[in-house]
Amino acid sequence: MKDLLRITDLTGDDLTLLLELAADSQGTPGTAPSLLTHQIVPMYFAEPSTRTRLSTAAAVTRLGGTPVTVGPDELQLRRGETIADTARVMGSYAAAIVIRTFADADVADLAAAAPVPVINALTDGHHPLQAVADLLTISEHFGHLLGHRIAYLGDPGNVARSLMEAAALAGMDIALAVPPGYSPAEEALAFATTEAERRGGSVLVTHDVAEAVKGASVVYTDVWMSMGDPEQERGRRMKALAPYQVNEHRMDYARDDAVFMHCLPAHRGQEVTADVLDGGRSLAFRQAANRLPATQAVLYALLTDRLAGR
């Protein structure tokens, strides 16, 4: 397996290996400090990023390499050079390429032409690095993943999709409470349902918040307006998603020891109230910290050809 573009690139064993490597690198941050010596990892960000950009830079540095951030205005892409030509050229200097942009098709084109691993650092459809960090965080908190239920409330966008696919690959139970008209992608739902059931887990999509949250160990949400969402949709999205806000009342439906999770950045008062996000049950900042070992594990596994892929 050369690239990580989406969670469905991974087998269940691949995901387990990434979680083990990530847990190991938390204990021993200096694992493989020479893997990337004298090499660069270009990080192309067409959208803003705090966590992904800096945790990836830190992970590359821990592996001995030099991260180089580039934006859309700095490359000849802006002047019409093709993605394929850019990929071939970058690949002749770089050990791997990390990309955050809007269209998944652009990332697929880059990966197809690049001779080195390409890692999706968020697209409109997927956020695989986030999902690996999320499962690491749940496993670290509860000691294991099996038998735990995640309730995701709100917009079934990139973060929800990767989370659902990863939870299914890990054999967990996941329930998404979404507004009418906001279903997860059919392809993602089919994958998650098949993979979860094969492992004794389950996937539920409902409009009923209480049904999703009842018995959950984790209550998760993401912003109501993603970076790729058109501004003219804001009013409609805020109205449709308002009943799916995570607040203390909603947390009460979950298990007594349930935790709250959010990929961040958060909008207090929209998808989550400040008391939940900043409260004692919130793992949001632990998740953010775990982006570093998760990305270090992904880089290490791809660069040492440890993942079987599909």
Residues lying near ligand CP in the complex (CB under 6 A) are found at 49-52, 122, 130, 263-265
In terms of CB distance, is 158 or 290 closer to ligand NVA?
158
Which residues are CB-neighbours of 212 under 8 A, at least 6 positions away?
151, 152, 153, 175, 176, 177, 204, 206
Beta-strand ranges (E) seen in 53-113 are 66-70, 97-100
Catalytic site includes residue 38: no
* Separation between Cα atoms, residue 14 and residue 199, nearest integer Å: 15
Q: Which of residues 25 and 49 has its CB atom nearest to ligand NVA in the complex? A: 49
270 in contact with ligand NVA (CB under 6 A): no
Residue 6 a catalytic site member: no
296 among known catalytic residues: no
Can 127 be counted among the known catalytic residues? Answer: yes
Residue of the chain from 221, 222, 246, 307 that contacts ligand NVA (CB under 6 A):
222
Cβ neighbors of 185 (< 8 A, separation 6 or more) are 125, 156, 161
CB 188 within 8 A of CB 164: yes
Does 276 participate in binding ligand NVA (rule CB under 6 A)? Answer: no
Catalytic residue (choose from 6, 127, 237, 262): 127
Question: Residue 160 carries which side chain, given as an amino acid letter?
Answer: A
Check the CA dihedral 138-212-164-67 and report its sign: negative
Amino acid at 41: V
Which residue of the set 9, 134, 173, 222 is catalytic? 222
Q: How many residues does the chain have?
A: 310
Residue 221 interacts with which of ligand NVA, ligand CP, none, CB < 5 to 8 Å by class: none
Q: Does 271 bind ligand NVA (CB under 6 A)?
A: no
Q: Which region, judged by CB under 6 A, interacts with ligand NVA, from 175-183, 223-231, 239-247, 266-274? A: 223-231
- Print the binding letters for residues 121-160 with ligand NVA: x by CB under 6 A, - otherwise: -x----------------------------------xxx-
Residue 50 interacting entry, from ligand NVA, ligand CP, none, C-beta within 5 to 8 Å by type? ligand CP
Residue 246 makes CB contacts below 8 A (sequence gap 6+) with 153, 154, 219, 221, 260, 271, 272, 273, 276
Instruction: Name the site residues for ligand NVA (rule: CB under 6 A).
Output: 122, 157-159, 222-223, 226-227, 263
